[in-house]
Amino acid sequence: MNEPEKYISVPRLKSFPWLVHGFGLAGFTLDSLKKDGELASFLPVVMKQLHSRRVFFLDDPPRKKLAGDGLVTTRPGLLLVIKTADCLPVLLLDEDHRAVAAVHCGWRSTYQKILAVAVDRLRRQCGSRPEKLLAAFGPCIEKSCYEVGPEVREKFAVAGFETGLIFSASASEGRFYLDLREANRLLLTRELGLKPENIIQLDYCTFCQPQFYSYRRDRQKEQRLINFIGIKNLS
């Protein structure tokens, strides 16, 4: 019998022999990382996530638990971990400089443009060129399942997003559907210089599909999907 799938990989990212990555399914936990043959040698870096725009660059393992929503490194052996349950996990990769990032993009982090901070960290500290970066969008809640209030739409408008492209009216009066993927895709391509063809989207809805955890569906505060990226130590 084949072992059940634990996480989803992106074929384009799997082509890099020095890289590990994945978007976890329900049941895949932090303890599962230690039991996975390919991941057991890595040191996981797990933050206290704040729905912020705070992104850390790591050239060594952190001495204490970090509080923020993005991690960047060029150091082999560190596994950058993002936990989600409807929010969008984004993995960034710079092949030329062997740099990686993991970013937690909920609606709060998205309107604060956390990906702009992550790309700036890669550019300043790793020498990355945005037009050479790859971005992988993991499973998140789809637009048709993600209803928000007018105060959320207003925050995106104030931040400079084209709200007509990422919001649409719902059947409920004064409510809107928000497309998290499109908001972050437009930010990467229109403001940050990534090429559209270098953005890979996995079209899974965490709310609709039971193989994922969904906070909006389950109202379970403890269960989170484990998403990760790291650089292998090939020496």
Please state the CATH superfamily assignment of the domain spanning residues 7-142+196-231 in this structure. CNF1/YfiH-like putative cysteine hydrolases (3.60.140.10)
Minimum mean pLDDT range among 36-40, 70-74, 175-179: 36-40
Cα 110 to Cα 10, 38, 203: the distances in Å are 22, 31, 18
Confidence band of 222 (pLDDT split at 50, 70, 90): confident
Confidence band of 170 (pLDDT split at 50, 70, 90): very high
Q: What is the pLDDT of residues 71-107, one digit of tens each?
A: 999 999 999 999 999 999 999 999 999 999 999 999 9
What six digits make up the tokens of 1? 């019998």
Confidence band of 219 (pLDDT split at 50, 70, 90): confident
More confident residue, 125 or 171: 125
Distance, in Å, from the CA atom of 133 to the CA atom of 197, rounded to the nearest integer, reads 10
Q: Which residue, 83, 104, 110, 137, is CA-closest to 191?
A: 110
In terms of DSSP H, where are the helices of 15-158?
Answer: 30-35, 107-111, 114-126, 150-158
- Mean pLDDT (the chain) is 96
pLDDT for res 2: 39
What does the angle CA 91 – CA 94 – CA 95 come to, to the nearest 5 degrees?
A: 120
pLDDT for res 1: 30
Q: What are phi and psi of 75, to 5 degrees?
A: -90, 120
Minimum mean pLDDT range among 14-28, 69-83, 191-205, 211-225: 211-225
pLDDT for res 235: 66
Q: What is the pLDDT of residues 102-125, one digit of tens each?
A: 999 999 999 999 999 999 999 999
The domain spans of the chain are 7-142+196-231
Q: Which residue, 5, 90, 12, is CA-closest to 55?
A: 90
What single-letter DSSP state applies at residue 48? B
